[in-house]
A and B are shown apart, each in its own frame.
Chain A
Amino acid sequence: METKFYKKDKLLVLKITEEIDEFKVQEIRRRADYEIERYMPKKVVFDFNNVSFMDSAGIGLIIGRYKFASMLGGKLEIANLTKSVERIFEMSGILKLIPVTQI
């Protein structure tokens, strides 16, 4: 995962570079929570551009981070969904809750 924080907008961009499954998600979750807590961003954006595989572990990851960011007063959005990532998010219904954005 690559982290970028834009101070002016208090925007935290977390670019996931791993495949997302139950194994990999543990590390991604830990690192994302660490960065969110550290920067206290107004908005967190998860960038999926480099995600070549995601199963349902990705749904739990995003819902969990959404709750965590909200608890700390921030928003959460997702960006650059690949076709297969979008299909899984769509199936879960989280696209009704979490906005897809451009970065």
Chain B
Amino acid sequence: MEKVFENEMKLEFISKSCNEAFARIAVAAFASQLDPNLEELQDIKTAVSEAVTNSIIHGYENKQGIVKIHCLIKGNEIKIEVSDSGKGIENVDMAKEPLYTTKPNLERSGMGFTIMESFMDNVEVESIIGVGTKITMRKVVKSKETTESQNEFELVK
């Protein structure tokens, strides 16, 4: 039976916005095991950046807290969970609406969830007021499919 490639990583950092670049680059580096093309990698980086920004500026409202990222690779799919123990989202449906933002004064565009949803295959939001928010995003890396037979060949060698 063919063995499915699996891998996992966890990351925790404090909620400083200067960590956004660190977070998306770390996840992208992990995701590159799936051999994504540049566009897929950019999609993943952007979605992670949006989720982490939400945790920092909405979840913790720039107060100090911990942002956690948990990544799982199974076959050619990556699952990325971004969670915080911040204030939670009052109305998830509304937060997902394009252009809806609770912080227009900070020049937030309200496009975070729209971008996550269009760059990833699937996005789930679990949020409890006063407890925190967890975003779960999934993406199948398609460029892997074409190179898979090549990898098997290398294993046989």
Contact = CB atoms under 8 A, between A and B. Distances in A.
A56 B107 contact: no
Interface string B15-44: 001101100100000000000000100100
Interface residues of A, number: 22
Contacts of B46: 53-55, 84, 88
Contacts of A61: 107
Contact of B115 (A22, A23, A24, A55): A55
Nearest to A60: B107
Contacts of B99: 92
Interface in B43-73: 45-46, 49-50, 53, 56-57
Given A21-B21, A84-B46, A57 B53 contact: yes
Contacts of A23: 17-18, 20-21
A56 B111 contact: yes
A29 B106 CA distance: 11
A24 to B, nearest CB: 8
A60 B49 contact: no
Interface string B67-110: 00000000000000000000000000000001100000011110
Contact of B17 (A22, A54, A60): A22
Interface in A5-49: 19, 21-25, 29
17 contacts: A19-B21, A23-B17, A23-B20, A29-B107, A53-B49, A54-B46, A55-B49, A55-B115, A56-B111, A56-B115, A57-B109, A60-B107, A60-B109, A61-B107, A83-B39, A84-B42, A92-B111
Interface of B: 17-18, 20-21, 24, 39, 42, 45-46, 49-50, 53, 56-57, 98-99, 106-109, 111-112, 114-115, 118
Q: Across chains A and B, which 10 residue pairs bring their CB atoms closest together, nearest first?
A: A60-B107, A59-B109, A23-B17, A55-B49, A56-B111, A64-B107, A22-B53, A60-B109, A21-B20, A23-B18
